[in-house]
Amino acid sequence: MCEHYDYLGSRRDGGFAEYVAVPDWNLMELPENVSFREAAMLEPLSVALHAVKRSGVKPGDTAAVIGTGMIGFAAAAWAKALGAETVFVIGRGEAKRAIAEQIPGISYVTEEESKAIQADVVVEAVGTPQAVSSAVLLARPGGSIVLMGNPSGDLAMEKNVYWRILRKQLNLMGTWNSSYEKDEACDWTEALDALSKKKIPAQALITHCFPSEKLMDGLELMKNHKEPYCKVMVSWE
């Protein structure tokens, strides 16, 4: 695992441009049936794939994803693609239900509705103490929890939550980023193959696309949550 990395969009600016100069090592050849919009989803799809593979999800499992951001929805789509029989996405209220309904094979439930769920694998995609606590409640005894959400502050854990982890003998694991190797099997090549074979509904995850001259409108939408969104893109066409 690389501890000292940087790339466009993380520790290095420069991605908001029509053309970007990068080393050949960074390039992947797109199949003819994968659009540029779909290809722009490769990074978050690879991050979500990495997390779901860490969970050890297998055919027949029940999977639950806490969080309704782009990567949370992507994780749910991957869980289904990797064989989970039942996949739940847990969100706050009804705002994101319409987005979830565009992803085949997953069920959207509110926090209140999720209390009856017992999942083999849980992906936490929020990064708050409440989400971690919910993940512990959702996981069946002996189940697995992947912590993927990035916290915005310190996280504290109640004693009863800690006790549940012990008594349910849960498997907790972290996940970070994704794997990429030039011309070798990795998360990125697996994600691209899934896009080519239409195993992941990338288009359903793209809710907004702003022309480049309205870039700030897109950033404002994400900052202030003016309306429900999943993936917000910028078009240079």
pTM: 0.93
- Give per-10-residue mean pLDDT for the chain (237 aa): 71 79 90 94 97 97 97 97 97 90 94 92 97 97 97 92 98 95 91 96 94 94 92 90
pLDDT of residue 51: 98
Residue 2 within any structural domain of the chain:
no
CATH number at residue 169: 3.40.50.720
Give how many domains the chain has, as a whole number.
1
Q: What is the pLDDT of residues 55-107, one digit of tens each?
A: 999 999 999 999 999 999 999 999 999 999 999 999 988 889 999 999 999 99
Residue 24 within any structural domain of the chain:
no
Angle between helices 159-167 and 129-138 (to 10 degrees): 30
Residue 1 within any structural domain of the chain:
no
Residue 12 within any structural domain of the chain:
no
Angle between helices 187-196 and 42-55 (to 10 degrees): 110
Distance CA 87, CA 2 (A): 31
> Alpha-carbon dihedral of residues 77, 80, 82, 86, nearest 10 degrees?
150
Instruction: Compute the mean pLDDT over every residue in the chain, rounded to the nearest whole number.
Output: 93
Domain extent at residue 126 = 44-174
Residue 151 within any structural domain of the chain:
yes
Residue 157 within any structural domain of the chain:
yes
Residue 10 within any structural domain of the chain:
no
